[in-house]
Structure 1
Amino acid sequence: MINKWNTSTYLFLGFAIVIALYTSIKVAAKQTFWLDDKLADLFAYVPDMFNPFFLILTELGDKKGIGVVALIFLGWFLLIKRNLLGAAAIALSVAIGNEVNKLLKDLIARPRPEFDHLAHVDSLSFPSGHAMVGFIFYYFIAYLVLEDLKSSKAKRMVIILTALLLLLIGASRIILQVHYPTDVIGGFAFGYIWALASKDMYKFFKKRLKK
C-alpha cells in the first residue's frame, strides 16, 4: 500500500480530480450548490457550547497550528529518525501547496459566506486553505509515520486518527461559518491531489539517494 499505487489510489485520484474541477468551474461561474445549503443546515444543529472545541480544532489547520505541529514532527524526523528528505519534503509540499491555494483563491474569487464569522478570516473562500493545506500536511506526516510501522493495527489507527482529524478540521470551518461546505470539499480534493504528487516525488528522490 505504501510502496506502490493500487486500484483504490487511482480511483481516489480520479474522484478528487473530478471534484476539484467540478467545484472550481461551478464556483467560478457563480453558480450555487444544493449541497451547501443542506450541509450548512445540518451543521447548524451543532450546539454553540462546542464552538470553543472547534476553534481549537480549526487552529490545527491554520498557519500557527501547523507551525507548532510541524516543529514537533520535523524535530522528530530530523533528530530521531534522521529522515532529512522526509522533513524537507513536508516543508516544501506544504509551502508550495499554500501558494497554490492562494493562487486558486485569487483566480476563483469566491466571497466568504454572509454569516457572522466565528473565527478570524482575511482571504477569499474557495478552496478552503485549512482543508487543502491541512490535508497535505497531515497526510504527509501520516505517510512518513506509516513507513516505519510494522503493526497492521498501528497503521490502521494512524489512518483513522488522521482521517478523523482532517474531517473535524473541515467541519470546524463550516460550523464556525467561515466557509461553504463546497469550499472544504474542494480544499480536500486539491489537497489530496497535491499530497499524492508530493508523496511520489519524495519516493522518487528517496530511491535515487539509495542508489
Structure 2
Amino acid sequence: MNKRVEKQLFIFSLLAGVIGVYLLYLVTSSEALWIDKAIASVFVTSNDSILTLFGYFTELGSKIGIGAVALLSLLVLWLTKKDYIAMATIALAVALGNEVNKLLKNWIGRERPDLEHLDEVASLSFPSGHAMVGIILYMLIAYFLVKYISSKKGKWIAAIACTLIILLLGLSRIILHVHYPTDVIGGYAFGFIWGFLWILIYEMVKEWLKKKA
C-alpha cells in the first residue's frame, strides 16, 4: 500500500475511533440527543418519489443487497485478477463485521426511533447495520478498484461512486425513519475502522506471501 494512503487511512481511522467512542458515551447516557433531532428534521419528507428512491438505496445495505454485491465483487476478482487474498478479505470482513455489529447492538441496546418505520426492521438501533456493513463492503470494493484500475480518472470515478453509495445508503435509513442519525454516523465510524483493519491484514498477508515466494 502506498505509504501516503496508509497514513491517511490511519488518521481517518483514529478520527473514526474518537467519533465512535464519543457517540457510545452519548447514546448510553441520554435517551434523546439534540444532534439526532437537528439532523433528522432536515431530512423529513412525505414525498412518495423520494421515499421510493431511498427505498432502493437502502436495499444496497440489506442482507440480500450486501450478499449480491459481495458475490459479484468476488466473481469479478476471481475472473479478472485471481486475487484470492482479496476475495477472502472481502468475504471475512463483511461476514465478521456483520457479527460485530450484532454484538454492539445487543450490548448497547438502543431502541429504534419512535416513528412509523418505512422499512421492515427486527433488530436494535445502534450502530446501524446498513451503514456499518455497507461501508465495510463498499470501502473494500473502492480500495480494490483503485488498486487495480490503471487510469487516474478511473480511480477517482470508482472512489466517488462508492462514497456516494455509502452516503446515500446511510441517509436512506434516516429518511425511512428506521435509524437515528447517530446510529448511522456510529455505523460509519465502526465500519471504517473495521474495513481499515482488513485492508491492513490484506496488505500484510500479500507482503508475507511475496517474501516467501
RMSD over equivalenced CA pairs, Å:
1.3
Q: Residues 18-167 of structure 1 correspond to what in structure 2 (within 5 A)?
A: 18-45=18-45, 47-167=47-167
The number of residue pairs the alignment matches comes to 210
Structure 1 residue 53: deviation in Å? 1.2
C-alpha distance in 1 between matches for 2:144 and 2:210 = 17
C-alpha distance in 1 between matches for 2:140 and 2:8 = 18
Deviation per residue, 1:134-186 (Å, 9 max, x gap): 00001001111111122111111111111111000000000000000000000
Contact residue 26 and residue 32 of structure 1 kept, 8 A: no
Contact residue 9 and residue 196 of structure 2 kept, 8 A: no
Structure 1 residue 81: deviation in Å? 1.3
Structure 1, gaps ≥5 residues long = none
Contact residue 46 and residue 175 of structure 1 kept, 8 A: no
Determine helix, strand or coil for the equivalent of 2:110: coil
The equivalent of 1:3 in structure 2 is 2
Structure 1 residue 14: deviation in Å? 1.9
* Bigger mean CA offset, 191-200 vs 25-34: 25-34
The equivalent of 2:15 in structure 1 is 15
Residue identity matched to 1:11: I
Residue identity matched to 2:90: I
Please give the TM-score of this superposition, normalised by the length of structure 1: 0.95
Residue identity matched to 1:14: L
Please give the TM-score of this superposition, normalised by the length of structure 2: 0.94
Contact residue 111 and residue 125 of structure 1 kept, 8 A: yes
* Bigger mean CA offset, 188-197 vs 3-12: 3-12
Determine helix, strand or coil for the equivalent of 1:184: helix
Structure 1 residue 99: deviation in Å? 0.6
Structure 1 residue 49: deviation in Å? 2.0
C-alpha distance in 2 between matches for 1:186 and 1:87 = 26
Residues 20 and 46 (structure 1 numbering): CA distance in 2 closer, same or farther, change over 3 Å? Answer: farther
Residue identity matched to 1:29: S
Residue identity matched to 1:154: G
The equivalent of 2:193 in structure 1 is 193
Structure 1 residue 56: deviation in Å? 1.1
Structure 1 residue 8: deviation in Å? 3.2
Deviation per residue, 1:37-78 (Å, 9 max, x gap): 011110004723211111111010011001111121111111
Residue identity matched to 1:168: L
* Bigger mean CA offset, 39-48 vs 54-63: 39-48
Contact residue 112 and residue 125 of structure 1 kept, 8 A: yes
Structure 1 residue 28: deviation in Å? 1.5
Structure 1 residue 80: deviation in Å? 2.2
